Amino acid sequence: MVNAFSALKAYLDSQVLGQPELTEGILLALLANGHLLVEGPPGLAKTRAVNALAHGVEAEFHRVQFTPDLLPADLTGTDIYRPETGQFEFQSGPLFHHIILADEINRAPAKVQSALLEAMAEKQITVGRTTYKLPELFLVMATQNPLEQEGTYPLPEAQLDRFLLHLKVDYPDAATEREILKLTRNEALHKAQSQPAAISQADIFSARQAILTLHLADSLEDYIVQLIMATRNGGAYSSKLPAWINYGASPRATIALERCARAKAWLADRDFVTPDDIQAVFHNVLRHRLILTYTAEAEGVTTDDVLTEILNCVPVP
C-alpha cells in the first residue's frame, strides 16, 4: 500500500515542480485526516497541486474562490422551495465534495469562515434546524496570499488551530523554472504524463489505520509532549522563550504532531517513528498555533525562529 502512495507522491512532484514540501504536506494531511493551510504568492501551483491530488485518488474535487461578498449558503447549500410539491428541498453546496480548495480564504467575512469551521471540525454542516453529514473523506486545502492584505479578514485563532499543517511556499530556483517552462509547453502540445492508478477511498482509510499502529516509543511520546510544553512554559527550557511566546499550543497540536510524525514514518516505509520524523514536521504543525509577544515582533523574531529555538533547547531522547 505504501508503494501506491509513493507513486502518488512522484506524480504530484511531476505536476508541481520545485515544491516537495507542499506535495508531501498534502499527502500528510490526507493520511493524518487533517486540513491544510498554504501560504505563498500567486502563481506557485497551489491550485494545481490539490487538483493533481484529486486526480490521484478516487475523490470529487471542488474549488471555491473566497471573496468579500461570499455567503455561508454559497458553501453549505440552502433550502430551495419547490412550487410543484409545496415543500423545501435541500440543495447541497460545494462542501459536500471530498476535496475542497478554499482559495484566498482570508478574503471571506467571518460568517463564511465560521461555516467552514464547523465543516472542518465536525465534518457536518447545519442549515436551518437540520444537520447534514459530510463525506467520510473530507480534506480542505486553504490558501492565503501574504503579499496583499488590504480588504482581508484575518483568520481567528480558533479556526487556525483546526488546520493540521501550515505550509509556506516560495518561488522556485532558476533550474526548476526552466523545467516548469518545459512542462507547460509539453502540456500545451498535449504530451500528457503518465498518471498512477487512482487510490481508492478504502485504501486511504486502511492507510490511516495502519499509521495508528506504528510503534512510537514512550521516550518519543514524552519528547512530543515536552516540545508542546515548551510553547506554554518556555522558561523551563530557555530564557528566550518567555519573552517571545504570548500563548502556546493547545492539546490539538500534540495530537497533530504525533499523527504527522506517524504519517511521515509510514511514507518512508518504516513501522516505527524516529526523532527525525517529529522534527521534520514540527515547524509546519506548530507555525500557526503560537501567538508571539510584541517584544518578539519588535525584535523581528518570527514564529519559525521560536520553533527552531524550541527544537534546540528540548533534549532529544
Is residue 148 domain-shared with residue 257, that is, in the same domain?
Answer: no
pLDDT of amino acid 15: 87
Q: Within its chain, how far is the Cα of 98 from the centroid? A: 14
pLDDT at 138: 93
Residue 309: count other Cβ atoms within 10 Å of its Cβ: 19
The answer as to whether 204 is a domain residue is: no
Residue 44's pLDDT is what?
Answer: 84
Look at residue 198 and tell me if it is in a domain.
no
Q: Which residues of the chain have pLDDT under 50?
A: none
First to last CA, the chain: 30
Q: Does one domain contain both 135 and 223? A: no
Separation of alpha carbons 66 and 120, rounded Å: 16
Residue 202 domain flag = no
Note whether 34 and 110 are same-domain residues.
yes
- Please state the pTM of the whole predicted model: 0.90
CATH code for the domain of 234? 1.10.8.80
- pLDDT by residue (tens digit) across 217-247? 999 999 999 999 999 998 899 889 999 999 9
Q: What is the domain count for the chain?
A: 2
Same domain as 218, residue 181? no
Q: How far is Cα 119 from Cα 276, in angstroms, rounded to an integer? A: 33
Where residue 8 sits, what CATH number does that domain have? Answer: 3.40.50.300
Q: The domain containing residue 274 runs over which residues?
A: 214-313
Residue 82 and residue 22 share a domain:
yes
- How far is residue 299's CA from residue 303's CA, in Å, rounded to a whole number? 12
Does residue 145 share a domain with residue 29? yes
Is 173 found in the same domain as 114?
yes
Q: pLDDT value at position 228?
A: 96
Domain annotation covers residue 16: yes
Predicted local confidence at residue 189, as pLDDT: 78
Kindly list the distances between the CA atom of residue 179 and the CA atoms of 19, 47, 115, 185, in Å, as whole numbers in the listed order.
12, 19, 40, 10
Residue at 19 is within a domain: yes
Q: Are residues 305 and 159 in the same domain?
A: no
Same domain, 161 and 235: no
Q: Please choose, from the candidates 120, 212, 211, the residue with its C-alpha nearest in 3D space to the C-alpha of residue 163.
A: 120
Query: Are 160 and 234 in the same domain?
Result: no
Are 167 and 265 members of one domain?
A: no
